[in-house]
Structure formats: C-alpha cells, structure tokens
C-alpha cells in the first residue's frame, strides 16, 4: 500500500540558529526519505518544508526535537501544496 504524499510548512522559534538545525534537517530528511528545504530567517526563526508521508515527516520532526543542541520553544505548522517536481532536500540561503 502506497502512503499518501503530503507537504507541510513549519516555522520554528527558540534556539534554532547556530546549533546545527539545518544540518540536522538535511541528515534527518535523508534518513526518513523526504524532500523539501530549510532556511534561516532574519528574525532568528527557521522555516522548513517537508514532503513525504505523514510518518516520514513525523520522523524528521522527532529527530529535531531529540537533538541536544536544538531547543524549540514554539512551532507553527500548516499544510502546503505538494510539489510534484521536487526530488531532493536542500538548504536555502
């Protein structure tokens, strides 16, 4: 049975810059088999989009929450349109 592909847009607040957040995102996305992107924002937050099954996306978020350097105080999440052309995960600058 094929899992439904979804895309989620996250905004993270807390100690999320300067702690390896983007690197952990890239490693976690690869381990969980998801695509998308991550970017530091000027206000100190981090924006992340993930595309895959609900379970795969949850796996990435679990890895971020378990990291000892990352301290997420608040996380906003919303559904986003699936990008049928996306084939990888990347860090945006």
Contact 56, 4 (CB under 8 A): no
Contact 65, 77 (CB under 8 A): no
Residues labelled catalytic: 22, 40
Phi, psi of 86 (to 5 degrees): -70, 135
């Amino acid at each position: 049975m094929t899992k439904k592909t979804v895309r989620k847009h996250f905004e993270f607040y807390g100690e999320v810059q300067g702690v390896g957040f983007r690197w952990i995102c890239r490693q976690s996305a690869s381990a969980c088999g998801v695509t998308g992107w991550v970017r530091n924002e000027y206000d100190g937050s981090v924006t992340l989009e993930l595309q895959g099954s609900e379970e795969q996306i949850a796996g990435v978020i679990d890895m971020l929450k378990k990291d000892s350097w990352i301290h997420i105080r608040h996380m906003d999440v919303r559904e986003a349109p699936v990008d049928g052309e996306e084939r990888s995960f990347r860090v945006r600058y």
